[in-house]
């Protein structure tokens, strides 16, 4: 239907997925760096882990037929991210119980 010059545009390659992963990673990094709410930092961590899983699955899909190593690694990343989020939320709630605030800048008891 389209003229042949459009053929390059009609192809979604590995780079496209990797760029999406990079944007996710950088957003997660920015969130981790700038949010002071402890759970905000956790959300940044989740974004970074998601970008890693996306990269793993994208490589798995584009680098050879019938491979599934990337998908299994992404599965483990998802499971471990869930476990780590559970513990981290527990820690954040304990932080709130002790300091009555979620601001990580206030958690400075060990400084000096």
Q: Is 107 one of the binding residues for another protein (CB under 8 A)?
A: no
How many Å apart are CA 89 and CA 87, to the nearest integer? 5
According to CB under 8 A, which one of 3, 4, 5, 27 is a site residue for another protein? 27
Q: Encoding tokens for residue 105?
A: 């800048």
- Taking CB under 8 A as the criterion, the residue among 3, 4, 66, 112 binding another protein is 66
Nearest approach in angstroms of CB 82 to another protein is 5
Tokens of 17: 């997925």
Contact of 38 with 104, CB cutoff 8 Å: yes
Shortest distance in whole angstroms from residue 49 CB to another protein: 9
Q: Which one among 5, 25, 109, 110 touches another protein, defined by CB under 8 A?
A: 25
- CA separation, residue 32 to residues 29, 35, 67, 71, 74 (Å): 5, 6, 33, 26, 22
**One of 10, 108, 109, 110 touching another protein (CB under 8 A):** 10
Compute the distance between CA of residue 45 and CA of residue 92 in angstroms, rounded to an integer: 14
Tell me the closest approach of the beta carbon of residue 111 to another protein, in angstroms: 18
Please give the structure tokens belonging to residue 83.
């476990």
- Establish if 110 lies at the interface with another protein (CB under 8 A): no
């Amino acid at each position: 239907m389209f003229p042949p010059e459009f053929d390059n545009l009609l192809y979604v390659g590995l780079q496209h997925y990797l760029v999406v992963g990079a944007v996710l990673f950088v957003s997660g990094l920015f969130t981790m760096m700038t949010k002071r709410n402890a759970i905000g930092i956790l959300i940044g961590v989740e974004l970074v882990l998601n970008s890693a899983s996306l990269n793993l699955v994208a490589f798995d899909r584009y680098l050879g037929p019938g491979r599934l190593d990337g998908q299994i690694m992404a599965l483990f990343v998802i499971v471990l991210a869930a476990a780590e989020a559970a513990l981290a939320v527990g820690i954040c709630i304990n932080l709130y119980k002790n300091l009555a605030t979620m601001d990580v800048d206030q958690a400075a008891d060990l400084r000096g």
